[in-house]
Chains A and B, each alone.
Chain A
Amino acid sequence: MKRFLKLVRKDLETGRLPVLLLSGITLALMVWARLRLVNAPAVVETAESYWPSIYLVLALAVPVTFFPLWLIWRSVQTLRLEWRDDTIYTLLALPVPGWQIMLAKLVSLCMEYTVLFAVATGGALLLFGGVLNMGTALPGPSWVALNIFWLYLGGLLLFTALAVQTQLAVVVGKMVGRVQGIVTLWVWILAVWFTSRLAELLQPLFRWLPVLRLHELMRLDELETQIILEVHPAGQVGFWLATIGIFALTGVLFERCVEVND
């Protein structure tokens, strides 16, 4: 466990500066948008009637559009930097299984995601909660907390799966001498295809699993008749089995097949 924590700490350290920077930019953009919102007389008067305000959209643009791309880029970088900085010599000389090294990177990426999510949602609630009259418009703090949690969990799971697929693509890319970029891209596409295909193939076997309705999960009672969003766990089983398989394969490839040479 001590070894694993050392690996996680190492990976966290390499991501510290970019995370701080992105958090700072996100908060700065939110503060700027909040100030603009206050200075716009019509919006201050009845915020709800001017929804969605362009400033709020701008403030949330970074977390919504940029964070997912940035996190995928980070999952490439955490591996790629080991080669660029020659620290792969240190990493490959350690007597630890490849999956532990991969898992440490995943854990640190998930922690980065958590920090960024906390900054984005915390910032949005603190800066815009009052303007949008959230206190009275929404059912209550526990409802907000519950839905933020589901949002966090959904994003985390999706991001973890994507990061696992990315790790495989980068590791396989490092196993070839030439056209690493093309190989990496194709392996990533194949990994995404494989996970979705296995999800489809295994779905009939797990049909007995109950369907989760989003309006029940998120207590959106008034929307019950308008939006029917459902999560089918039957499809998720195959998806996650494939993801776990890809993760195990990446660990084996990293330990047995990759070399220090780029």
Chain B
Amino acid sequence: MTTAEHALVVRDLRKRYSQVEALKGISMTLPRGEIWGLLGPNGSGKSTFLKCVAGLVKPDGGEIQILGETPSRRTKAQIAFVPEVESLYRWMTVGQVLDFTAAFFDDWQPETALELLEFMHLDGKSRVSSLSKGMRTRLRLILALARRAPLVLLDEPFSGIDPSSRDRIVEGIIREFKGEEQTVLISTHAVGDTEQLFDSVVFLAEGRVALQGSAEELRRSRGRSINDLFKEVFP
């Protein structure tokens, strides 16, 4: 099997921020067509890992291959990354945000974007600055889901938002997941309601992989849910 058949291959990834070693040699291989959960408590290295893959942070060591290529301008076009932070231009309207994103990504699907806008209960004329946190998260999710990107990276999409927004987001991900042609990697420290989403999971602890595998297999072999496993690994 060649690496190009995988959506993401990471070997011995390392990253240090001055005194803190955020990633201490992470390795993982994500096949195409699956939804993966990147699970771990705050400070475990989830965001740093996703930023390294998205090309927003430069690793100190190790190797990343996205669809068989090392991170570059070309791979940025293959990735739909939703960061945890509020990364949108606040003076833009929702419609302007969609137009701006559409101009840069050839895989943008305008009809899907409009459908998602309706599904997520967002008005194209609203200003980003006037939206609630949950609405802004939903908008950022639309920017990722309205593309046919082979690799979708969602950093804490359920963090700090109300339950109804969270349900909408989960529904949106399931609805727009493009099967074999797409791989989704979702980082979260709130496994609870989102467990149903994951085909496979990786547990990160202090910058290292603590556990990884198929969600179904882990449930069977350990005799408990992923949520309970999370509590066990991170007491």
A binds B: yes
Interface on A for B, CB 8 Å cutoff? 2-3, 6, 10, 13-14, 85-90, 92-97, 177-178, 255-257, 259-261
Residues of A within 8 A of B74 (CB): 95
Given contacts A93-B76, A96-B73, A178-B18, contact A87 B100 (CB under 8 A): no
In the assembled complex, the Cα of A14 lies from the Cα of B91 at a distance in Å of 8
- Residues of A close to B100: CB separation below 8 A: 6, 10
B76-88 contact mask (Cβ, 8 Å, vs A): 1 or 0 = 1101010101111
List residues of chain B with CB under 8 Å of any chain A CB: 17-18, 51, 54-58, 73-74, 76-77, 79, 81, 83, 85-92, 99-100, 103-105
Bound-state CA distance A192–B51 (Å) is: 34
A14 CA / B90 CA spacing, docked (Å): 10
Given known A-B contacts A95-B76, A95-B105, A89 and B83 have beta carbons under 8 A apart: yes
Chain A nearest CB from B101 CB (Å) reads 8
**In the complex, chain A residues whose CB is within 8 Å of the CB of B105:** 95
In the complex, the answer to whether B18 meets A87 with C-beta atoms within 8 Å is: no
Contact A260 B57 (CB under 8 A): yes
Given contacts A10-B89, A96-B104, 20 further A-B contacts (CB under 8 A): A2-B103, A3-B103, A3-B104, A6-B99, A6-B103, A6-B104, A13-B92, A14-B89, A85-B89, A87-B87, A89-B81, A92-B55, A93-B55, A93-B76, A93-B79, A94-B76, A177-B17, A177-B18, A255-B73, A260-B83
In angstroms, Cα B91 to Cα A3, docked, is 19
Known: A3-B103, A89-B56, A257-B58. A95 touches B87 (CB 8 A): no
Q: Which residues of B contact A10 (CB under 8 A)?
A: 89, 100
Partner of A259 from B56, B90, B91 at Cβ < 8 Å: B56
In the assembly, what is the distance between CA of A101 and CA of B90, in Å?
A: 19
Asked if A93 contacts B89 (CB within 8 A), the reply is no
CB-CB nearest 5 A-B residue pairs = A89-B87, A95-B77, A95-B76, A86-B85, A260-B56
Q: In the complex the two chains form, is A90's CB within 8 Å of B89's CB? A: yes
Question: A90–B76 contact, CB under 8 A?
Answer: no
Contact of A86 among B57, B81, B87, B92 (CB under 8 A): B87
Between A and B, 14 residue pairs with Cβ closer than 8 Å are: A2-B103, A13-B91, A14-B89, A86-B86, A88-B87, A90-B89, A95-B76, A96-B73, A97-B73, A257-B58, A259-B51, A259-B57, A259-B58, A261-B57
Are A93 and B57 touching (Cβ within 8 A)?
Answer: no
Chain A residues in 8 Å Cβ range of B17: 177, 261
Max chain B C-beta neighbours (<10 A), residue from A13, A14, A89, A96: A89
Inside 8 A of B18's CB, which chain A residues have their CB?
177-178
Q: Chain A residues near B55: list those with CB within 8 A.
A: 92-93
A177 to B19, CA, bound (A): 11
- For residue A86, which residues in chain B have a CB less than 8 angstroms away from its CB? 83, 85-87
Select which of A13, A93, A97, A261 is within 8 A of B54 by beta carbon: A93
Nearest Cβ in chain B — how far from A145, in angstroms?
Answer: 36
Q: How many Å from the CB of B213 to the closest CB on chain A? A: 30
B residues near A14, Cβ cutoff 8 Å? 89, 91
For B89, the chain A residues whose CB sits under 8 A away are 10, 13-14, 85, 87, 90
- Contact partner of A95 among B90, B92, B99, B104, CB < 8 A? B104
Q: Point out the residues of chain A lying under 8 angstroms from B83, CB to CB.
A: 86, 89, 260
CB distance from A111 to the nearest CB of B (A): 17
Query: How far in angstroms is the closest Cβ of chain A from B61?
Result: 15
Residue of B whose beta carbon sits closest to that of A178 = B18
